[in-house]
Amino acid sequence: MSDVNRALRVLSPVPGTAMSLETVPDPVFSQSMVGPGVAVHPEPGQEGGQESWHEAVSPIAGTLVKLHPHAYVVMAADNRRGVLVHLGIDTVQLAGEGFTLLAEEGSQVAEGTPVVRWSPGMVASLGKPSVVPVVALDAEPGALSELACGAVEPGEVLFVWE
């Protein structure tokens, strides 16, 4: 089977609870304006009274075509399917506070490669929802299957893009 027809397994970039994209408090995501996907609601968590930091990882193997502190896009090797990971809602307004880049735009990444270190608890404390939409950019409705629901860890399948 050629890569063009191969289903793409999209993995969770963060630990949390996988839920419908409709649960995201932003119409761009909840109405699938940029594409269908799954929302992961992270556990903010604290370790020893300190905010815990998490590494958000690449959900697929490919090229990191866009990288911002609060969001990134990985383009699959077939160059026709891109996956957006958006760390929190309206987090662009935080101007990088609570985020540290761990990769470089344009670099090749494997599934599970750390891309951004972030604190969901800090994002929430700054008044922003810490939910993480994972979106199959410009995918047709119905192109996704096996959508996860419930607890997920990084590297577990969130959905399959046919």
> Catalytic pick from 41, 54, 70, 86?
86
Main-chain phi, psi angles of 158, to 5 degrees: -90, -40
- Annotation says 86 is catalytic: yes
Please tell me the distance from the alpha carbon of residue 11 to that of residue 94, in angstroms, as a whole number: 26
- Contact criterion met (CB below 8 Å) for 158 and 152: yes
**20, 41 Cβ separation under 8 angstroms:** no
DSSP letters spanning 40-104: EE----EETTEEP-EEEE-SSSEEEEEEETTEEEEEETTSS-EEEEE-SSSGGGGTTTTEEE-S-
Annotated active-site positions, please?
Answer: 86
